[in-house]
A and B are shown apart, each in its own frame.
Chain A
Amino acid sequence: MDHPIKRDHSRFRKIVKGKIRDSLKKYVSNGEMPIQKGSGTYKVPMPKIETPRFKFGSKQQGGMGQGEGEKGDPVEQEGEPQEGSEEAGNGEGGKELDVELSLDELASILGEELELPNIEPKGKKSLQSTTDRYNSIGQVGPDSLKHFKRSYKEALKRQVSTGTYDKDNPVIVPVRGDFRYRSANTTIEFENSAVVIYMMDVSGSMGDEQKEIVRTESFWINLWLKSQYKDIEIRYIIHDATAKEVDEEIFFKTRESGGTLISSAYKLCREIIQEDYNPREWNIYPFHFSDGDNWSTDDTKLCLDILKNDIIPSSNVFCYGQVESRYGSGQFLKDLNTGFGNESEEIILSKIKNKEAILDSIKEFLGKGK
């Protein structure tokens, strides 16, 4: 049995998760993203959880230390309290608590808060994923996987059956054929496969704040989709008047300028789907973020055509998020609206006014469980 403190620990974790859920909106709109660490956990910074007490305010109190320095010299505040002094005197400041959560935990917090339904995957389970488990015994293998007990048993059996076993001097000498090794069984599992294709307008009118919104929103969307599909591929497209496929870093950092031809992105998106993702096997999620400014009505018409004929039929759902910017007209959203109507099942439109609206927009996108 585990030490009872493990129960205290899981109580504490529960409280932490509750706090994160309560302040999820703040996190999301501050753009404070959990930092991904190795092994699939995320570090979430949050204010220290503490029992309130009557205690002194720290600023007025000041303190004392040892060392060099004239009046007015700074006392560096970065360092944390000394080792060895577990109660650390009065020096405990507003330390931040770093909480580690797994992807599933974080996603379930998001899911609970936004009341997101689980996604009903379409298509058959086609993606093969293999797992190796060392759950059987073989006659060959490397020394490092030698199974001593089984090898001993084999040697014993052989010696007993050949009559070389001496019960007064029970020394067992294994020969080559006695050795047994742990061996792996490979199991193949079929998974639902999914791909997310992000498209972002990086024309001159998309400022840093707009990109920050896209970044935050796509982080949380990824998180949710990752929790729903075991293996997920993510592709990034940026466009102004022309479109190109880029990697994640460039996607969020580039600042281009110039005009906007949304159709260029949609064309590229169509190409990617046609080349790499068979819609019958893949769950495809194209997301497009823009400030809603398109070069011409002709181009918009072309966009609608591509969407209707190619992209939407092959996608689970097409999501368009319009980030409000000072320069954008926001016309494209209206055009999509007239093109597809409000009630359309295959297309989700969302208007993101500012950072505070990110969470609502995520809910709009993912709330349908598609």
Chain B
Amino acid sequence: MNRTKPIQGELFDLKNVIESHAINYGLDFYPVVFEECDYDTVNILAAQGGFPSRYPHWKFGLDYDQLSKGYAYGVQKIYEMVINTDPCYAYLLKANNLVDQKTVMAHVYGHADFFKNNYWFSGTNRKMMDVMANNGTKIRRYMNKFGQDKVESFIDKVLSLENLLDHNLLFEKRKKAIKIEEEEEFDEFEGQSEALKSFFRTKKRYENEKGEQGSGSSKSENSEVETLRDSSLPSKDILGFLMEKAPLKDWESDIIGMLREEAYYFLPQRMTKIINEGWASYWHSTIMTNNALNPSEIIDFADHHAGVMAMSRQQINPYKIGIELFRDIEYRWDTGKFGKEYNDCQDMNKKLNWNTNTKLGRKKIFEIRKTHNDITFVDEFLTEEFCQRQNIFTYKFNPRTNRHEVDSREFKEIKSKLLNQLTNSGSPVIEAIDSNFSNRGELLLKHIHYGVDLDYGQACETLKNISSLWKRPCVIDSIVEGAPSRILFDGKEVKTQKI
């Protein structure tokens, strides 16, 4: 059943026009396949992270439920969706008018360029469409074999750890992939996820060694476990750690491997929300206003553009901050407002009217999209003047009035708060420290505390989930309301003690 169909006729012609504008501006992307679909299909795709085929799980149903209601009540509508694959797939909502379609196309080419060129995506598997579909098939097969409830509840537990990833692995995986290609000849594990392959390799090597050493090897077995543990800990890659070290059945490790692979696939997108949306918005705005708009479409375009860029008092709109930062950078590098001479200048008036006509803006922003992620982008280019111009403030919860209140407009505070929010793509940093804690095989985790506590209730539930994978008690060290604390789940109940 085809729910989407390739665009034809007028839309197809428009696509060619927009594409040639994008190329003229120097954007560089994998081919983009635009498909048209109705709102229900867009909701389905959005619920599945953009992919047409995923493994069966109720969370997709939940997201679909919410998206469908959001659409039905008219509170939200998905304009665009683009998947980071080669070729890039992008979906257009059939009911949108032409000016929206054009804007979306221009926006999509921005994303496509970013996906291809940004360093953080360099390790991405561009055939993820197939990987996701295969994962779906395999998990469905496991469900047929072991029961849907059993497999689904296992997935629930794994998903609960989905955000515990090690950002550095994005590049290590690439290294590993290169290495694996070199030793391609003994790939007997075809069709299994990358992660599982390496797991089986380790296991195999381990079994070989055991075989060589003969029968009386219980001691060396222990030492093997010992060394394995030492080499892999501490680790932020909690899923990877559990996959290799937890006493799991093969199908369970395989599922962790698949979900981990998917999580790492989505990770660069979580790390580049502001810069990626900013880049795409910069380009839809540039292409539309300079080239693609008909005079009759200007009002509609301005209306919808403004809707997407709307500022909110509750949170930073990544589209808005991103596009404004790019424009600010372009302006600064066009006028030479950068570098030692400018920074050292003490004369405010001179600084304000500074213009050395450097005209480096375009070049600069292309450089930035190549190497930066949200953190480095904000860290390097967020300026005090920018924050003032954008009216940015921080807020915090006031327990006395029981509401959130504006806290500060100080540049330093804003910047450090923003960077904190972006650190580890907004997830707490959790490390596995010891797999034989208390010498009882318990798992010790540590929350690296940067000033914000964990959500306690959720932390307890998550701990239970880890423990059910680890099959032994699990412990996490963190700070609760200012006091260093240890939260422990012993298989029956959660206890918290000060340390």
Chain B residues with CB under 8 Å of chain A are 1, 3, 44, 46-48, 53, 56-62, 64-66, 69, 75-79, 152, 156, 159-164, 270, 273, 277, 307-308, 310-320, 390-397, 399, 401, 403-409, 414, 417-418, 421, 426-428, 430, 447, 452-459, 461-462, 465, 476
Contacts and interface: CB of A to CB of B under 8 A. Distances in A.
B316 A1 contact: no
A77 B456 CA distance: 22
Secondary structure type dominating chain B contacts:
mixed
A82 B310 contact: yes
A1 B3 CA distance: 12
B404 A69 contact: no
B56 A4 contact: yes
Interface stretch (A58-66, A112-120, A137-145, A267-275): A58-66
Contact of A57 (B60, B403, B452, B476): B452
A53 interface: yes
B477 to A, nearest CB: 12
A306 B399 CA distance: 60
A131 B448 CA distance: 67
Closest 8 CB pairs of A and B: A12-B61, A52-B461, A62-B396, A8-B61, A9-B61, A66-B311, A65-B313, A91-B315
A81 interface: yes
Interface in A69-113: 69-77, 79-91, 97-98
Given A8-B58, A70-B406, A54 B459 contact: yes
A249 interface: no
Given A68-B391, A89-B315, A90-B315, A55 B79 contact: no
A308 B306 CA distance: 74
19 contacts: A3-B44, A8-B59, A10-B61, A12-B59, A56-B455, A57-B453, A58-B455, A63-B314, A63-B417, A65-B313, A66-B316, A66-B390, A75-B406, A77-B404, A80-B75, A81-B312, A81-B314, A83-B75, A87-B270
> Which of B61, B64, B397, B456 is packed against the most chain A CB atoms within 10 Å?
B61
A50 to B, nearest CB: 8
B163 A53 contact: yes
B271 to A, nearest CB: 12
A91 B58 contact: no
Pick from A9, A49, A52, A81 the residue with the most CB of B within 10 Å: A52
B315 A82 contact: yes
A56 B315 CA distance: 15
Contacts, number: 216
B453 A74 contact: no
A51 interface: yes
A82 B462 contact: no
Contacts of A70: 406
A149 interface: no
A334 interface: no
Interface string A1-21: 101110111111111000000
A81 B277 CA distance: 16
A245 to B, nearest CB: 39
A38 interface: no
Contacts of B393: 64-67, 69
Nearest to A91: B315
Contacts of A79: 312, 314
B426 A72 contact: no
Interface of A: 1, 3-5, 7-15, 49, 51-77, 79-91, 97-98
Contacts of A56: 426, 428, 452-455
A90 B430 contact: no
Contact of B404 (A55, A62, A68, A84): A62
Nearest to A99: B65
A11 B63 CA distance: 12
B160 A51 contact: yes
Contact of B395 (A13, A60, A65): A65
Given A54-B459, A90-B426, A15 B307 contact: no
A65 B60 CA distance: 30
B316 A15 contact: no
B452 A51 contact: no
A9 B65 contact: yes
Given A3-B1, A12-B59, 5 more contacts: A8-B59, A12-B61, A12-B62, A62-B404, A81-B314
A63 B394 contact: yes
A5 B316 contact: no
Contacts of A84: 79, 307-308, 317, 319
Given A62-B407, A67-B313, A54 B428 contact: yes
Contacts of B405: 71-75
A86 to B, nearest CB: 7
